[in-house]
Structure 1
Amino acid sequence: MPVYENKKTKQYYWKVSINGQQYKRQNKQWTRKIHAQRDLDAFIESMNRNEYVKNIKFEKMLEAYDGFALIKYKPNTRIHQRNIINKHILPFFKNMTVSNIVAADVILWQQQLIKKKMSNGSYYSNQMLEKIQTTARTVFKFAEDHDYIRKNPFKATVFVRHRTVQRKKEHTILTYPEFKKFMNVIDNQVHRVLFSILYWNGLRIGEAMALTLNDYQDGKLYIETNWDYKTHIITTTKTDESRIVDVPKECQIEIDTLISMLDSDHKNKTTPLIGIVHREPKTTLERAKKRYIDESGVRYFTFHDLRHTHVSTLIDLGWQSNAIAKRLGHSVEMVNNVYGHLFPRRIDDDMDKLNNLSSFIE
């Protein structure tokens, strides 16, 4: 028995050998055998836990990370993150003991990562490389925070990037005449409402698809939810904040026209504004958009380009970044970072007005 009594002091202690190493503990308050036994049981459980953690493989540790991610992240984020892990991270680290992974292993992984090519033969963009490495760093931070590893190996490394300058994809900014030309070929009222909402209000596509009849009241859109296309569930907005958006008259007419076409069975608060009976798959909407673009002859644009178009329109109309941020559900800092390149055009116009003051003074 590893629990013993000191005949002289009448106190108990325990002594045990684990993997050839002796451990002993005593306490003056252990006047009964059960006191020492409980402490010994806790010690052995701790040692077993430490031994398990010390020898756990990366793939097994990911099971614990999945439980953590389930609480911390939205479903779409978890799916996207797990896809990155399965494709780019797990194949390299899968059978490695987590506690033994060091910066040198990460650097070797990065060297392989930067050489990887997509199915079309091109290298991954620097933006994608950053997403992959950020995901890996997040997983190892979890490992460090939960004692699977003493130090996150990413702390001793820097992200790798392609040195060649990669041309950033330009957004298509539609003019109002282009948008009207596009709308003129659409005879599906649900689609007319969708594109009107995106153009005139700058909503994210998921926010627009989540709208119900109840979210449109008195010429305002109440933005509180987001439609997740991958999981087909309603979640909170991207920033987890709600907002109220005033709808321009031209967009109100499109929405009111759609509502007037509904029969009584579909005029309830939970009816999806875009889809009515059910929300259309994004692939269906993409095909419809392409068809309308081809028929109208306007430049190709993405759903998100309409959000950029809306911001560009607001800037041209003289809106300030704080008002734009409130309308889009962004922070002012985010507006300046993402859309700041659109402001110089407005600044040039303002300078022209300032310079023209002299003509009035004279």
Structure 2
Amino acid sequence: MAVYRDKSNGYDGKTWRVAVYYTDWQGNKKKHEKRGFKTKKSAQSYETEFIAKKKKDINMGFSAFVELYLTDIKPQIKLTTYVTKENIINTHILPYFENKSLSDITSVDILQWQNELLMLRDDNGKGYSQTYLRTVQNQLNAIFNHAVRYYDLPKNPCAATKKIGKSKAKEMLFWTKEEYWKFAEVVKDKPASYYAFQILYWTGIRCGELLALTISDFDLQKKTLHIDKNYQVVKGEEMITTPKTEKSNRIIDLPEFLCNEMEDYFSSLYKVDENSRIFTFTKSFLHHEMDRGSAKAGVKRIRLHDLRHSSCALLIELGYSPIQIAERLGHESVTITERYSHLYPSVQKQMADKLNKAFEENDDG
């Protein structure tokens, strides 16, 4: 191990260089070098952290451990999930804990961090949503759980504190069928928007699934739609990825009227082959169209994702079970669908009537 002035290969000796020997996870001895440090102190600090990481020393700096954590999990999760985690860590976690060592962070530190998050306000005096606060909390918890599970940290300091935020939104918005009809009528002046919203509402697919659709995904003879991909923009780069979950890979049966509409839409497209995206606009464009259509139709403004909730509400109204709806919407488990339980009509009156009828039948006998 060494830290020295770098005078080799054209370097003028004004910067510092680190050379460290270590043993990798397969037992092979290797050499690691890094150059370009402006001061000896910064080079030594890097050397100390590097050695701590290789030895899985829990006294390493929190920032150094976060690098290890992200390196460990990156191959196991989708790129979009990784980018989301990275953004949350860099924005809300590292700025508070970066100068502490992993093992020195206590439950009191966690409590003070939580209080700072709760007090943050934007220019309009509005704080973070309860669901976002819970997402940030869960990310910090995941970092410490990783340290406990793989790096022998004795305990997770988050365990002693109460979680902030809420795991799900307080209110689930959706449009009734009548509200959706009003909205659909006023966006017909832009055919691509209209057809996109028709698919979202009547099939319940996710926005990313919609934007990835090609003509080849439709079988208008069999009246089916095949969902097997997702469109996303990651760090400014457009990409087609796999769907959100395994259950998201599915075939959806389409109503005949929607097949007829899609046939009309396909015939209007210019020079689009079977594998080209049929909706080439962005999610931002659809948000704008939601604003425009809601205002023009005089219906409440709901989120783009709430169209999926609206589709679920419609299926509930039509009498389908959570299992049947989960299959169509591509929910990973029926538990997700059951979150919509408050939309189901109460059957208490129906139960009471049938119990009364059963009693009367017995009484008559």
TM bucket normalised to smaller: 0.7 to 0.9
1:259-308 alpha-carbon deviations (Å, 9 max, x no partner): 12234x31x2211122xxxx212222222232222333333222222111
SS in structure 2 at match of 1:244: strand
Q: Does 1:192 align with 2:194?
A: yes
Matched-pair contact (CA < 8 Å) for 1:206–1:229: no
Instruction: Please report how far the alpha carbon of residue 252 of structure 1 lies from its aligned counterpart in structure 2 after TM superposition.
Output: 1.4
* Residue identity matched to 1:327: R
Q: Does 1:65 align with 2:69?
A: yes
Q: With structure 1 as the length reference, what TM-score do the two structures score?
A: 0.75
Counterpart for residue 235 of structure 1: 241
1:219-298 pair list within 5 angstroms:
219-230=223-234, 231-241=237-247, 242-263=249-270, 265-266=271-272, 268-274=273-279, 279-298=280-299
Deviates more, 1:137-146 or 1:315-324: 137-146
SS in structure 2 at match of 1:145: helix
SS in structure 2 at match of 1:184: helix
Distance 1:196 1:323 in 2: 21
1:160-205 alpha-carbon deviations (Å, 9 max, x no partner): 359xxx9923403232x33233222213222122111111111111
Counterpart for residue 330 of structure 2: 329
Matched-pair contact (CA < 8 Å) for 1:189–1:254: no
Distance 1:248 1:225 in 2: 22
Matched-pair contact (CA < 8 Å) for 1:99–1:148: no
SS in structure 1 at match of 2:66: helix
* Residue identity matched to 2:120: K
Distance 1:160 1:181 in 2: 39
Distance 1:119 1:145 in 2: 40
1:100 to 71, 86, 104: 104
Matched-pair contact (CA < 8 Å) for 1:221–1:244: yes
Instruction: Please report how far the alpha carbon of residue 137 of structure 1 lies from its aligned counterpart in structure 2 after TM superposition.
Output: 0.7
Counterpart for residue 129 of structure 2: 125
Matched-pair contact (CA < 8 Å) for 2:59–2:103: yes
SS in structure 2 at match of 1:270: coil
Do the aligned partners of residues 199 and 354 (structure 1) sit closer, same or farther apart at CA in structure 2, a change above 3 Å counting? farther
Matched-pair contact (CA < 8 Å) for 2:144–2:157: yes
Distance 1:311 1:352 in 2: 27
How many residues align? The count is: 306
Distance 2:92 2:266 in 1: 47
Deviates more, 1:345-354 or 1:74-83: 345-354
- Structure 2: unaligned runs, 5 residues or longer: 1-26, 31-50
Distance 1:342 1:273 in 2: 33
Matched-pair contact (CA < 8 Å) for 1:229–1:281: no
Distance 1:145 1:207 in 2: 35
* Residue identity matched to 2:97: F
Instruction: Please report how far the alpha carbon of residue 135 of structure 1 lies from its aligned counterpart in structure 2 after TM superposition.
Output: 0.3
Instruction: Please report how far the alpha carbon of residue 357 of structure 1 lies from its aligned counterpart in structure 2 after TM superposition.
Output: 6.7
Distance 1:348 1:254 in 2: 40
Cα RMSD (Å): 3.0
Counterpart for residue 218 of structure 2: 216
Instruction: Please report how far the alpha carbon of residue 76 of structure 1 lies from its aligned counterpart in structure 2 after TM superposition.
Output: 2.0
Q: Deviation above 6 Å: which 4+ runs of structure 1?
A: 355-358
Do the aligned partners of residues 251 and 131 (structure 1) sit closer, same or farther apart at CA in structure 2, a change above 3 Å counting? same
